[in-house]
A = this chain, B = another copy of it.
Amino acid sequence: MQVCRTIGEIKEFANKARVAGKTVGLVPTMGYFHEGHLNLMREAKKNCDVVVVSLYVNPIQFGPKEDLGEYPRDFDRDCTMARSVGVDAIFAPGNDEMYPPGYNSFVEVAGITNKLCGLSRPGHFRGVTTVVAKLFNIVKPDRAFFGQKDAQQAMVIEKMVRDLNMGLEVVTLPIVREADGLAMSSRNVYLSAEQRQAAPVLYRSLCAFRDAVAGGERDVQKLCRGIEEMILSTPGAQIDYVEILSVPDLEPLNTMTGRCIAALAVRFGKTRLIDNIVVEV
- Pair A134/B104 contact, Cβ less than 8 Å: no
Stretch at the interface among A70-78, A80-88, A107-115: A107-115
- CB of A108 within 8 A of CB of B105, answer yes
Q: How large is the interface on A (under 10, 10 to 19, 20 to 34, 35 or more residues)?
A: 20 to 34
A159→B105 contact, CB < 8 A: yes
- Interface membership of A96, Cβ < 8 A: no
**What 0/1 pattern do residues 188 to 217 of A give for CB contact below 8 A with B?**
000000000000000000000000000000
Bound-state Cα–Cα, A166 to B133, Å: 9
Asked if A124 lies at the interface with its beta carbon under 8 angstroms from chain B, I say no
Measured in the bound complex, the distance between the Cα atoms of B103 and A233 in whole Å is: 41
A249's nearest neighbour on chain B, judged by CB, is: B102
Secondary structure of the A contact surface, majority rule: mixed
A164 located at the interface, meaning its Cβ lies under 8 Å from any Cβ of chain B in the complex: yes
A104's contact among B103, B105, B159, B165, by CB below 8 Å, is which? B159
In angstroms, how far is the closest chain B Cβ from the Cβ of A66?
21
Partner of A137, one of B106, B110, B111, B166: B166
Q: A7 an interface residue at 8 Å Cβ cutoff?
A: yes
Residue A160, interface by CB 8 Å = yes
Considering the chains assembled together, what is the distance between the CA atoms of A166 and B136 in angstroms? 9
Complex-state Cα separation, A152 to B106, whole angstroms: 18
Interface centre among A11, A110, A163, A166 (most CB of B within 10 A): A163
Contacts of A137 in B (CB 8 A): 164-167
Give the distance in Å from the alpha carbon of A7 to the alpha carbon of B134 in the complex.
Answer: 22
Binary contact track A132-168/B, C-beta < 8 Å → 1, others 0: 0110011000000000000000000001100111110
Q: Complex formed: what's the CA distance from A169 to B117 in Å?
A: 37
Which 8 A-B pairs rank lowest in CB-CB distance, beginning with the nearest? A105-B163, A104-B111, A137-B165, A104-B110, A105-B109, A138-B165, A105-B160, A106-B108
